[in-house]
Amino acid sequence: MAQAKQGDLVKVHYTGTLEDGSTFDSSADRDPLQFVIGEGMLIPAFEQAIVGMLPGDSRSVHIPADDAYGPYMDELILEVDKNQIPESLNPEEGMQLQITQDDGSSTVVKVVKLTDEKVYLDANHPLAGKDLNFNIELVDIAGH
């Protein structure tokens, strides 16, 4: 039986947890996640953890924040005048919004603070600054 290698189309089940044991994502109630190892669609350390596995193998992997979504950066807290927010929006703390950047790309931000005149938006990835743990089961290697 062949081991998973770079360029293979694989299917995996996974559960991702934080250091406190809370689950942030899992494929348990869904179809397995399918991707090509080395294509860069996922965290590289997650993809590389599958290299060498056989279908049916399971593995636990710890991915430090720097190798996952990077450090939490205070400079990604954006201060916006309330008059720049559409009146129909009525932002509240914890609300997620999608904003369009100057280059036309969009990003999801979270409202983290409101004052009478300002809205503070956090553009960090929700998992930035967090170490991640994954339990991964290789379900299948396509073509094998």
pLDDT band at residue 105 under the 50/70/90 scheme:
confident
pLDDT digits (tens, 9 = 90+) for 40-99: 999 999 999 999 999 999 999 999 999 999 999 999 999 999 988 887 888 899 999 888
Six-digit token pair at 126?
Answer: 């929700």
Gap between the Cα atoms of 141 and 144, Å rounded: 6
Phi, psi of 30 (to 5 degrees): -130, 175
Domain ranges within the chain, ordered by starting residue:
9-70+127-141, 74-122
Domain 74-122 in CATH 2.40.10.330? yes
pLDDT of residue 143: 59
9-70+127-141 adopts what CATH topology? Answer: Chitinase A; domain 3 (3.10.50)
> Counting every residue, how long is the chain?
144
pLDDT of residue 47: 96
**Residue range 87-116: mean pLDDT, rounded:** 89
Gap between the Cα atoms of 91 and 110, Å rounded: 10
- The answer to whether the 9-70+127-141 and 74-122 domains have the same CATH topology is no
